[in-house]
A and B are shown apart, each in its own frame.
Chain A
Amino acid sequence: MRKQVSVGRTIAWVLLFILLIVTLFPFYWMLRTAFSDNTQLPGHPHSLLPVETTLGAFKRVLGLSSIEEAQAQGGSGAAVNFWLYLRNSLIVATITTVCQVFFSAMAAYAFARLRWPGRDKVFALFLAALMVPPIFTTLPNFVLIKNLGLLNSFAGIILPGAFMTPFAIFFLRQFFLGINRELEEAAMIDGAGHRRIFFGMIIPLSAAPIATLAILTYINSWNDYFWPLLVGQQENVRVLTVALGVFRSQTPQGGPDWAGLMAATLIAALPMIILFLAFAKRITNSIGFSGIK
């Protein structure tokens, strides 16, 4: 009996180990390919190490190598500049996160800590918006942004997400509800207004959940593809995800620039990987709560 259990455990550990490999291998393969020479890749499809290790692919997608140099290493020679797309992604994700989290926190405060008629009904209406699939509102939103003349501008990409998401308000409201009311009343007696309570008490006391929400919002915004694809095609506002799609569709059918493509995906993924490494514990622990509402 005892022996059986340990055999079962061994198998379970092996399975878990395989799972971790399956999860991590694509990341490694991206790295391995990005540092390879594209012209040499087809000859060594199963080499575990980079083939003819070179930084050429990165130079190519960052626009640092000449056309001849790029073509010699299997690039298409088309001008690409991932520095610019990286900058655009930073702008979009940062502004979206700051505005969305701040405005959502304000609203969450009103829903959690203030008493006013109709509060719960308005909150229910906000939550109901979670039911509407994005594509349904995306079409009219596109028309609106177009009519406002904001196509291919940062404002057009950022605006729809800048004010709130139902989820952000819901998430923060949960935490604000848990804050001790006596603290608030004591501050009130001392003559603090709502603004001072919000900035001086609620926000500092909720720093941890606000940070978690901000990180999740940043990641979502960074990874978003559909909306920026619709309103931000032009080079000067093109974000990384959209740029990757364009880069992929430009690769020649015959001999794709795999090394360049993987270098570009690595550039797009790396900031999120770094963010994740820095806050792995916080992000991981937030999942059980944020997913099941």
Chain B
Amino acid sequence: MTATTNAPPARKRSHGDRAAPPAKRRSLGDLKVAMIFIAPATLGFVVFYIWPTLRGAYLSFTEYSLLSAPKFNGLDNYHRMIHDSFFWNALGVTVEYVVINIGLQTVLAVGIAMLMYRLTKSITVRAIILAPYLVANVVVALVWYWMLDFQVGIVNTFLGWVGIDPVAFFGDSHWAIPTVAGINVWRHMGYTALLVFAGLQTIPAYVYEAAEVDGSTEWKTFWRITLPLLRPVLVMVLVVTMIGSFQIFDTVAVTTQGGPINATRVIYYYIYERAFTRFDFGYASAMALVLFAILAVVSLVQLRLLRARESDLA
């Protein structure tokens, strides 16, 4: 304990000086105590967040196979990426996944939140719909892998009763991504619904009362009042869930492993393959940096939308 609290402050001091320009000459306050309190967290932050971020950016300009030191190769990795059809395929597949996953999930979550809002505040109902979110991705993926099995899965058995031919959910390249997306909708829709539900409760009751007095139908109230007032919450939910959605990996890794014929080789999985089966760390880092940039742009655009609509709340 004493070792961890004593060593890092020296590092922290130089950092703190930089963060606080000497322009304002105010007292150092609790600086000494504060340094002790943030020492362990800062150590972890610098070693496992800041340093790898910088190193990752550097590695993206190198050729690095883990065996010898990284060799600087300028923009080669990025040139390669432009001509790598697997990379573009991975991006396309990921976008397809995100569109299906987020589209379906958001619509369902708003629906579920509305249902709960109008019908019941029961904590039991809320707990049940949250349950799938607390089970590991891997577990969820495997349970559905079994339920969606071509030959003996319960879903295909059920489809058989209704008179539909069995579907090769994981084996058919058209179905694979929608299937993976659907599985994760099942896992996340309850969680997302609870976020929306929390947002619904911030809408003051008098707004609805006013609408009712004016004779607005329920359908109209939803589109004209609930949804616009919910927009800030919805955008926030979209930012959080979409960033998560782009990082789909676990489900693919334990079910299709990128197949059939690249149909589910999402960008995370492709980076993983490049780095850990081909030991192509430089190229993998470059792709990770591009993914980082894409996520940053997506979040910024969405947050802009949020700003632009903030007046709705007034």
A-B CB contact pairs (8 Å), 17 listed: A9-B118, A26-B144, A103-B41, A107-B38, A110-B30, A117-B19, A121-B20, A122-B16, A133-B243, A139-B56, A139-B284, A139-B288, A225-B253, A226-B249, A241-B136, A281-B123, A292-B195
Chain A residues, Cβ within 8 Å of B240: 291-292
Within 8 A of B (CB), among A3-27: 8-9, 12-13, 15-16, 19-20, 22-24, 26-27
**Contact present for B127 and A118 (CB under 8 Å):** no
Q: Say if the beta carbon of A189 comes within 8 Å of chain B.
A: no
**Contact present for A106 and B41 (CB under 8 Å):** yes
Q: Say if the beta carbon of B91 comes within 8 Å of chain A.
A: no
Q: Say if the beta carbon of B146 comes within 8 Å of chain A.
A: yes
- Given A26-B140, A110-B37, A284-B127, 6 further pairs, Cβ under 8 A: A24-B128, A33-B146, A142-B275, A268-B136, A272-B135, A289-B198
CA A128 to CA B127, docked complex, whole Å: 31
Chain A residues, Cβ within 8 Å of B15: 122
Q: Report the contact-size class of chain A (Cβ under 8 Å from the partner).
A: 35 or more
Given contacts A115-B29, A133-B295, A248-B142, contact A140 B198 (CB under 8 A): no
Taken residue by residue from 96 to 137, chain B's Cβ proximity to chain A (1 for < 8 Å, 0 otherwise) reads as 000000000000000010011011100111111111101111
Chain B residues, Cβ within 8 Å of A261: 142, 146
**Contact present for B29 and A132 (CB under 8 Å):** no
Q: Which of B128, B136, B157, B289 gathers the greatest number of chain A CB atoms within 10 Å?
A: B136
**Contact present for B38 and A269 (CB under 8 Å):** no
- The 8 Å CB contact of B288, one of A29, A135, A248, is A135
**Contact present for B254 and A248 (CB under 8 Å):** yes
Q: Say if the beta carbon of A95 comes within 8 Å of chain B.
A: no
CA A46 to CA B289, docked complex, whole Å: 47
Taken residue by residue from 121 to 132, chain A's Cβ proximity to chain B (1 for < 8 Å, 0 otherwise) reads as 110011001011
Binding site for B on A (CB under 8 A): 8-9, 12-13, 15-16, 19-20, 22-24, 26-27, 29-30, 33, 41-42, 45-46, 103-104, 106-107, 109-111, 114-119, 121-122, 125-126, 129, 131-144, 146, 159-160, 162-164, 166, 169, 194, 198, 219, 222-223, 225-226, 229-230, 240-241, 244-245, 248-249, 258, 261-262, 265, 268-269, 272-273, 276, 280-281, 283-285, 287-289, 291-293
Closest to A120 in B: B19
**Contact present for A284 and B233 (CB under 8 Å):** no
Stretch at the interface among B42-50, B80-88, B172-180, B203-211: B42-50
CA A272 to CA B134, docked complex, whole Å: 7
CA A20 to CA B136, docked complex, whole Å: 19
Q: How far is the CB of B91 from chain A (nearest CB, A)?
A: 14
